Amino acid sequence: MIKLGYAYCGKLLRVDLSKCQTREESLKEEWASRFIGGKGLGIRYLYDFVRPGIDPFSPENVIILMTGPLTGTVASTMSRMANVTKSPLSGTLSDSYSGGYFPAELKFAGFDGVIISGRSPKPENPSTAGSTASPEWARRPRQSTSSPN
């Protein structure tokens, strides 16, 4: 088994929306050395957390945001992350990719990924802890953009 060295931070952030809790968890070094990159590692964690037959819309499904070993480095285009979950369309694995500042900033904050589980009992505004979301939350996009309130 290889050591994680500078490629990984060694921590994941677990977010449980049902319990409104977050906690840090150690990255599994064996998995990081065997399933390289955000996609490989994200899929391995999904395999561990989501059991067969689970409804993709249930709180038991997870959303995994996982960076790779080069995320946050000076290598070109290295602010990317894999977004892994069980697809409601196919009922199988779904992976997509995103970039921008967030993946690198996640690494700079000391985390290799975020695993989101559960379902919030009410709409929450993540930027202000404990505050409920605005009335815009329950509106459709066209309603939100056409109404000033």
Q: Residue 87 corresponds to which amino acid?
A: S
Q: Is 132 domain-assigned?
A: no
Q: Is 19 domain-assigned?
A: yes
Q: Is 109 domain-assigned?
A: yes
Looking at the structure of the chain, the number of domains it has is: 1
Q: Tens digit of pLDDT per residue, the chain (149 long)?
A: 446 677 889 999 999 999 989 999 999 989 988 998 899 999 999 999 999 899 999 999 999 999 998 898 888 778 899 999 999 999 899 999 999 999 999 999 999 999 999 998 877 665 555 555 566 665 656 655 555 55
Find, among 100, 75, 81, 79, the residue nearest to 42 by Cα: 81
**Residue 140 CB-density burial (10 A; 0-12 exposed, 13-18 middle, 19+ buried):** exposed
* Rounded-to-integer distance, Cα 116 and Cα 124, Å: 14
* Rounded-to-integer distance, Cα 31 and Cα 28, Å: 5
| C-beta separation of 100 from 79 below 8 A | yes
> What's the pTM?
0.81
| C-beta separation of 39 from 6 below 8 A | no
Q: Is 133 domain-assigned?
A: no
Q: Is 70 domain-assigned?
A: yes
pLDDT of residue 134: 61
Domain with 86, as residue range(s), is: 11-122
Q: Residue 49 corresponds to which amino acid?
A: F
pLDDT of residue 1: 41
Q: Is 42 domain-assigned?
A: yes
- Please write the tens of the pLDDT for every residue from 94-104: 999 999 999 99
Residue 32 sits in a domain of what CATH number? 3.60.9.10
> 33-45: string of b/e by CB count within 10 Å (b at 16+)?
eebebbbbbbbbb
Tell me the DSSP string of 28-50.
-HHHHHHS-HHHHHHHHHHHHH-
Q: Is 135 domain-assigned?
A: no
The contacts of residue 17 (CB under 8 Å, 6+ apart) are 59, 116, 117, 118, 119, 120
Q: Is 117 domain-assigned?
A: yes
